[in-house]
Amino acid sequence: MNGSRCLITGGSRGLGLELGLAFARAGAKVAFTYSKNDDDAADAKAKIAAAGAEPLVYKGSVADAAHAAKTVDDVVARWGGIDVLVNNAGINQVLPLALLEEEDWDLVMAVNAKGPFLFSRAALRHMIKARRGHILMVGAFSSERIIEAPAHFAASKSALRGLTDSLAREVGRYGIGVNLIAPGLLDVGISAMLPQHRIDEYKSQCALGRTATAAEIAAMAVFLVSPRNSFMTGAKLAMDGGL
Protein backbone atom coordinates (compact mmCIF):
# COMPACT_ATOMS: atom_id res chain seq x y z
CA MET A 1 0.00 0.00 0.00
CA ASN A 2 3.04 2.24 -0.32
CA GLY A 3 1.78 5.80 -0.83
CA SER A 4 -1.92 4.89 -1.00
CA ARG A 5 -4.12 7.72 0.30
CA CYS A 6 -6.65 6.18 2.68
CA LEU A 7 -9.63 7.50 4.61
CA ILE A 8 -11.22 5.43 7.37
CA THR A 9 -14.50 6.44 9.00
CA GLY A 10 -14.77 5.69 12.71
CA GLY A 11 -11.02 5.32 13.03
CA SER A 12 -10.32 6.42 16.60
CA ARG A 13 -10.80 3.06 18.34
CA GLY A 14 -11.64 -0.61 17.93
CA LEU A 15 -11.41 -2.04 14.45
CA GLY A 16 -11.07 1.42 12.90
CA LEU A 17 -7.89 2.09 14.88
CA GLU A 18 -6.50 -1.33 13.98
CA LEU A 19 -7.18 -0.58 10.31
CA GLY A 20 -5.29 2.70 10.59
CA LEU A 21 -2.32 0.96 12.21
CA ALA A 22 -2.24 -1.81 9.60
CA PHE A 23 -2.46 0.66 6.72
CA ALA A 24 0.30 2.80 8.21
CA ARG A 25 2.58 -0.23 8.62
CA ALA A 26 1.88 -1.12 4.99
CA GLY A 27 3.15 2.29 3.88
CA ALA A 28 -0.14 4.10 3.31
CA LYS A 29 -1.13 7.64 4.15
CA VAL A 30 -3.94 7.54 6.71
CA ALA A 31 -6.83 9.86 7.51
CA PHE A 32 -9.66 9.00 9.86
CA THR A 33 -12.90 10.41 11.20
CA TYR A 34 -14.42 10.19 14.65
CA SER A 35 -17.61 11.50 16.18
CA LYS A 36 -17.21 12.39 19.86
CA ASN A 37 -14.28 11.30 22.01
CA ASP A 38 -11.36 13.71 21.58
CA ASP A 39 -9.09 11.71 23.90
CA ASP A 40 -9.57 8.53 21.86
CA ALA A 41 -8.84 10.47 18.68
CA ALA A 42 -5.65 11.97 20.11
CA ASP A 43 -4.50 8.54 21.28
CA ALA A 44 -5.25 7.00 17.88
CA LYS A 45 -3.40 9.81 16.11
CA ALA A 46 -0.30 9.20 18.22
CA LYS A 47 -0.38 5.43 17.69
CA ILE A 48 -0.82 5.70 13.92
CA ALA A 49 1.98 8.26 13.75
CA ALA A 50 4.23 5.86 15.65
CA ALA A 51 3.32 3.16 13.12
CA GLY A 52 4.65 5.33 10.30
CA ALA A 53 1.91 7.67 9.08
CA GLU A 54 1.09 11.10 10.50
CA PRO A 55 -2.71 10.96 10.11
CA LEU A 56 -5.24 13.59 9.15
CA VAL A 57 -8.07 13.66 11.71
CA TYR A 58 -11.65 14.87 11.22
CA LYS A 59 -14.44 15.17 13.78
CA GLY A 60 -18.11 14.89 12.84
CA SER A 61 -21.04 12.60 12.21
CA VAL A 62 -20.80 10.30 9.20
CA ALA A 63 -24.52 10.93 8.68
CA ASP A 64 -23.83 14.64 8.03
CA ALA A 65 -23.55 15.24 4.28
CA ALA A 66 -21.58 18.46 4.75
CA HIS A 67 -19.06 16.71 7.00
CA ALA A 68 -18.60 13.88 4.49
CA ALA A 69 -18.04 16.24 1.55
CA LYS A 70 -15.74 18.58 3.47
CA THR A 71 -13.65 15.72 4.85
CA VAL A 72 -13.09 14.06 1.49
CA ASP A 73 -12.41 17.37 -0.24
CA ASP A 74 -9.82 18.29 2.39
CA VAL A 75 -8.07 14.92 2.04
CA VAL A 76 -7.92 15.43 -1.72
CA ALA A 77 -6.69 19.02 -1.33
CA ARG A 78 -3.89 17.94 1.01
CA TRP A 79 -2.83 14.76 -0.76
CA GLY A 80 -3.87 15.36 -4.35
CA GLY A 81 -6.39 12.53 -4.40
CA ILE A 82 -7.95 9.61 -2.54
CA ASP A 83 -7.25 5.95 -3.30
CA VAL A 84 -9.05 4.09 -0.52
CA LEU A 85 -12.21 4.66 1.49
CA VAL A 86 -13.14 2.31 4.32
CA ASN A 87 -16.70 2.75 5.58
CA ASN A 88 -16.09 1.43 9.07
CA ALA A 89 -18.06 3.75 11.39
CA GLY A 90 -20.98 1.97 13.04
CA ILE A 91 -23.16 1.81 16.12
CA ASN A 92 -25.43 -0.77 17.72
CA GLN A 93 -28.08 -1.04 20.41
CA VAL A 94 -28.97 -4.37 21.98
CA LEU A 95 -32.76 -3.93 21.98
CA PRO A 96 -35.60 -6.17 20.77
CA LEU A 97 -37.72 -4.77 17.96
CA ALA A 98 -40.80 -4.43 20.16
CA LEU A 99 -38.92 -1.99 22.41
CA LEU A 100 -37.30 0.07 19.66
CA GLU A 101 -38.31 3.68 19.36
CA GLU A 102 -38.43 5.22 15.90
CA GLU A 103 -35.47 7.44 16.75
CA ASP A 104 -33.42 4.34 17.66
CA TRP A 105 -34.06 2.85 14.23
CA ASP A 106 -33.29 6.16 12.50
CA LEU A 107 -30.02 6.66 14.36
CA VAL A 108 -28.60 3.22 13.59
CA MET A 109 -29.66 3.41 9.96
CA ALA A 110 -28.21 6.93 9.64
CA VAL A 111 -24.77 5.95 10.90
CA ASN A 112 -24.52 2.41 9.50
CA ALA A 113 -26.21 2.87 6.11
CA LYS A 114 -26.54 6.56 5.26
CA GLY A 115 -22.97 7.32 6.35
CA PRO A 116 -21.42 4.88 3.84
CA PHE A 117 -23.62 6.34 1.11
CA LEU A 118 -22.52 9.91 1.89
CA PHE A 119 -18.81 9.13 2.12
CA SER A 120 -18.86 6.84 -0.92
CA ARG A 121 -20.60 9.53 -2.96
CA ALA A 122 -18.02 12.13 -1.91
CA ALA A 123 -15.05 9.84 -2.58
CA LEU A 124 -16.34 8.57 -5.92
CA ARG A 125 -16.50 12.08 -7.35
CA HIS A 126 -12.70 12.08 -7.11
CA MET A 127 -12.02 8.38 -7.77
CA ILE A 128 -14.01 8.42 -11.02
CA LYS A 129 -11.91 11.31 -12.32
CA ALA A 130 -8.75 9.38 -11.42
CA ARG A 131 -10.24 6.13 -12.83
CA ARG A 132 -9.03 4.08 -9.88
CA GLY A 133 -9.74 3.39 -6.23
CA HIS A 134 -11.06 0.94 -3.65
CA ILE A 135 -14.07 1.24 -1.38
CA LEU A 136 -14.38 -1.25 1.46
CA MET A 137 -17.61 -1.63 3.44
CA VAL A 138 -17.37 -3.08 6.94
CA GLY A 139 -20.44 -5.27 7.34
CA ALA A 140 -21.34 -7.76 10.04
CA PHE A 141 -21.89 -11.49 10.32
CA SER A 142 -25.48 -10.81 11.43
CA SER A 143 -26.30 -9.82 7.87
CA GLU A 144 -24.73 -13.01 6.52
CA ARG A 145 -26.16 -15.62 8.89
CA ILE A 146 -29.49 -16.33 10.61
CA ILE A 147 -28.44 -15.46 14.14
CA GLU A 148 -29.89 -13.48 17.00
CA ALA A 149 -29.03 -9.80 16.52
CA PRO A 150 -30.79 -6.44 16.98
CA ALA A 151 -33.13 -6.00 14.01
CA HIS A 152 -32.12 -2.43 13.18
CA PHE A 153 -28.41 -3.29 13.31
CA ALA A 154 -28.87 -6.34 11.08
CA ALA A 155 -31.01 -4.34 8.66
CA SER A 156 -28.46 -1.54 8.43
CA LYS A 157 -25.61 -3.94 7.74
CA SER A 158 -27.72 -5.82 5.20
CA ALA A 159 -28.19 -2.52 3.39
CA LEU A 160 -24.43 -2.41 2.89
CA ARG A 161 -24.63 -5.68 0.94
CA GLY A 162 -26.97 -4.07 -1.56
CA LEU A 163 -24.87 -0.93 -1.71
CA THR A 164 -21.77 -3.03 -2.37
CA ASP A 165 -23.46 -4.93 -5.20
CA SER A 166 -24.87 -1.87 -6.92
CA LEU A 167 -21.76 0.29 -6.58
CA ALA A 168 -19.45 -2.47 -7.80
CA ARG A 169 -21.53 -2.75 -10.97
CA GLU A 170 -21.81 1.03 -11.37
CA VAL A 171 -18.18 2.04 -10.96
CA GLY A 172 -16.25 -0.99 -12.15
CA ARG A 173 -15.92 0.62 -15.57
CA TYR A 174 -13.78 3.31 -13.93
CA GLY A 175 -11.32 0.83 -12.40
CA ILE A 176 -12.83 1.16 -8.92
CA GLY A 177 -13.31 -1.90 -6.72
CA VAL A 178 -16.07 -2.10 -4.11
CA ASN A 179 -16.06 -4.97 -1.62
CA LEU A 180 -17.44 -5.83 1.80
CA ILE A 181 -15.83 -7.57 4.74
CA ALA A 182 -18.14 -9.04 7.38
CA PRO A 183 -16.29 -9.76 10.63
CA GLY A 184 -17.55 -12.10 13.29
CA LEU A 185 -17.39 -11.13 16.95
CA LEU A 186 -14.20 -9.24 17.73
CA ASP A 187 -12.12 -8.63 20.82
CA VAL A 188 -12.85 -4.89 20.61
CA GLY A 189 -15.62 -2.42 19.81
CA ILE A 190 -19.30 -3.27 19.68
CA SER A 191 -18.68 -6.99 20.11
CA ALA A 192 -16.81 -6.52 23.37
CA MET A 193 -19.84 -4.78 24.90
CA LEU A 194 -22.14 -7.80 24.49
CA PRO A 195 -23.22 -9.83 27.53
CA GLN A 196 -20.84 -12.70 28.25
CA HIS A 197 -23.49 -15.34 27.53
CA ARG A 198 -23.83 -13.97 23.97
CA ILE A 199 -20.06 -14.22 23.45
CA ASP A 200 -20.00 -17.75 24.87
CA GLU A 201 -22.88 -18.73 22.57
CA TYR A 202 -20.99 -17.40 19.57
CA LYS A 203 -17.88 -19.37 20.48
CA SER A 204 -19.92 -22.56 20.86
CA GLN A 205 -21.37 -22.15 17.34
CA CYS A 206 -18.14 -21.01 15.67
CA ALA A 207 -15.99 -23.73 14.06
CA LEU A 208 -12.79 -22.15 15.39
CA GLY A 209 -14.30 -21.75 18.86
CA ARG A 210 -13.15 -18.18 19.50
CA THR A 211 -13.69 -14.54 18.65
CA ALA A 212 -11.48 -12.75 16.12
CA THR A 213 -8.83 -10.17 16.83
CA ALA A 214 -9.17 -6.81 15.14
CA ALA A 215 -5.65 -7.31 13.78
CA GLU A 216 -6.81 -10.39 11.85
CA ILE A 217 -9.57 -8.42 10.15
CA ALA A 218 -7.25 -5.49 9.44
CA ALA A 219 -4.68 -7.76 7.80
CA MET A 220 -7.30 -8.97 5.32
CA ALA A 221 -8.48 -5.39 4.76
CA VAL A 222 -4.95 -4.40 3.73
CA PHE A 223 -5.07 -6.96 0.94
CA LEU A 224 -8.62 -6.05 -0.10
CA VAL A 225 -7.79 -2.38 -0.72
CA SER A 226 -4.26 -2.86 -2.02
CA PRO A 227 -3.16 -2.90 -5.67
CA ARG A 228 -2.59 -6.66 -5.29
CA ASN A 229 -6.36 -7.10 -5.21
CA SER A 230 -6.82 -6.23 -8.87
CA PHE A 231 -9.73 -8.46 -9.92
CA MET A 232 -12.20 -8.64 -7.04
CA THR A 233 -15.25 -6.42 -6.81
CA GLY A 234 -18.74 -6.88 -5.46
CA ALA A 235 -17.42 -9.55 -3.08
CA LYS A 236 -18.80 -10.12 0.40
CA LEU A 237 -16.13 -11.79 2.51
CA ALA A 238 -17.24 -13.33 5.80
CA MET A 239 -14.54 -13.62 8.46
CA ASP A 240 -16.61 -15.23 11.21
CA GLY A 241 -14.53 -18.26 12.17
CA GLY A 242 -16.93 -20.68 10.49
CA LEU A 243 -20.46 -20.07 11.71
pLDDT tens digits for range 159-204? 999 999 999 999 999 999 999 999 988 888 767 777 788 888 888 9
Mean pLDDT, rounded, of the chain: 93
Give the other-Cβ count within 10 Å of 2's Cβ: 9
- What domains appear along the chain, each with residue ranges and CATH number? 5-239 (3.40.50.720)
Would you state the pLDDT for residue 144?
63
d(C-alpha 129, C-alpha 139), whole Å: 27
What is the DSSP code (8-state) at residue 111? Answer: I
**pTM for this entry:** 0.94
The secondary structure of residue 211, as a DSSP letter, is P
Q: Which pLDDT does position 113 carry in this prediction?
A: 96
With pLDDT > 70 as the criterion, what percentage of the chain qualifies?
A: 95
Strand order in the sheet with 56-59: 56-59, 29-34, 5-8, 84-87, 133-138, 176-183, 236-239
pLDDT for residue 147: 61
* 129-141: burial string, b at 16+ Cβ within 10 Å, e else: eeeebbbbbbbbb
Identify the segments of the chain with pLDDT beneath 70. Answer: 142-149, 190
